[in-house]
Amino acid sequence: MEETQRETNWCDEEDQQAEASIWKYIFGFTEISVVKCAIELGIADAIESHGSPMTLSELSSALTCAPSPLYRIMRFLMHRGIFKEELNTHGSPCYAQTSLSRRLVRYGEHSMAAFFMVNSSPMAMASLHRLSARVLANGTSPFEMAHGEEAWSFLAANPAQSQLVNEAMASDARVVVPAIIHGCPEVFDGLGSLVDVGGGNGTTLQMLVQAFPWLRGINFDLPHVVSEALEFHMVENAGGNMFESVPKADAAFLMWILHGWGDDECIQILKNCREAISEDKGKIIIVEAVIEEAKMDKLSDARLTLDMAMMAHTNAGKERTFKEWEFLLRKAGFTRYIAKFIHAVQSVIEAFP
């Protein structure tokens, strides 16, 4: 009887959890939409600019919007811990920033707003809605199904979307590069030059050259991308195609490039990088997520979610385990490789000829 009762209680607990969880998934897109709304309204920007927590009246005045719908938006966001409530000197409730809400400030040091906006855009959502077709069609890209062409061609033909992607990559760089600089600065010891393969608007190299002033940087990407790149001392912008060749340097740096491609394409890119670096002191530095299936941590869910995004947005891209990274590196002619873990979704992999 006691065993049956314990089993019934366990089933009740499981059912209760299921009841709570299913609503989370049913309205998962709603959560994304509300955060997107907060970024578009500039809620975090307004509180940050104010310099202290704001009452509903102050916030609605600053945003020039009606208090009632704003209150409901803020109630939703506070329930999820994105903002918090504090009392001002008059004892009135105010909305205050958190470490999470500061990630939504559009131009803040740790802002991920642009990254959020590109991943919640109609462009990205359209391919996510076709994810099941990728599984059933055995390799057909959901992005192509949604937009009629693969992502890189689409972005080349749509400058506004391409700019949004570049801004997203730059926002990610502003978070990840400091983690690399502080977590494994020795990676850049002894290097005189560094080519950032797929470097976008040059944000990453600008930060690396500032941190390691002995480096000469080459920001390498498609011509239409580097035409919009930043101009910076000790950084040269170079247009080209990484599938054809890579500019010569002591080391090649690839951050969130290879996860967008299948194994064959990755091997070709890595071989071109190997030809570009010197045989004696040359190396490549890969900054990518490493899936650890046996050992999960706080960022494992983010890495697995990124894998779903790669499935939706690319033809054959994916997040890889370390064994899968080893396979690619061996095929590309690298004999030694080391993985270093930093405080980020990505890890740093050094590979040597």
Q: Which of 58, 144, 288, 350 is catalytic?
A: 288
Cα(59)–Cα(48) distance, rounded to whole angstroms?
11
Active site annotation includes 259: yes
Q: How many Cα atoms sit within 13 Å of 26 on the Cβ side?
A: 6
Which residue, 251, 111, 272, is CA-closest to 192? 251
According to DSSP, the residues that pair with 201 across neighbouring strands are none
Q: Which of 58, 167, 319, 350 is catalytic?
A: 319
Which residue, 284, 262, 259, 263, is CA-closest to 273? 284
pTM: 0.87
Please classify residue 189 by burial: count the beta carbons closer than 10 Å to its beta carbon, then call 0-12 exposed, 13-18 middle and 19+ buried. exposed
Active site annotation includes 90: no
140-188: pLDDT as tens digits = 789 999 999 988 889 888 888 888 888 888 888 888 999 999 999 999 9
Active site annotation includes 350: no
Which residue, 230, 254, 269, is CA-closest to 176? 254
Amino acid code (one letter) for 334: F
19-34: pLDDT as tens digits = 888 988 899 899 999 9
How are beta strands 283-291 and 216-221 bridged, if at all? unpaired
Strands, DSSP E only, in 129-175? Answer: none
Cα(64)–Cα(215) distance, rounded to whole angstroms?
47
- In tens digits, the chain (353 residues) has pLDDT values of 555 555 555 568 888 889 888 988 899 899 999 999 999 999 999 999 999 999 999 999 999 999 999 999 999 999 999 999 999 888 889 999 999 999 999 887 789 999 999 999 999 999 999 999 888 876 678 999 999 998 888 988 888 888 888 888 888 888 899 999 999 999 999 999 999 999 988 989 999 999 999 999 999 999 988 888 888 889 999 999 999 999 999 999 999 999 999 999 999 999 999 999 988 789 999 999 999 877 777 889 999 999 999 999 998 999 999 999 999 999 999 999 999 999 899 999 999 99
Q: Which of 147, 259, 313, 350 is catalytic?
A: 259
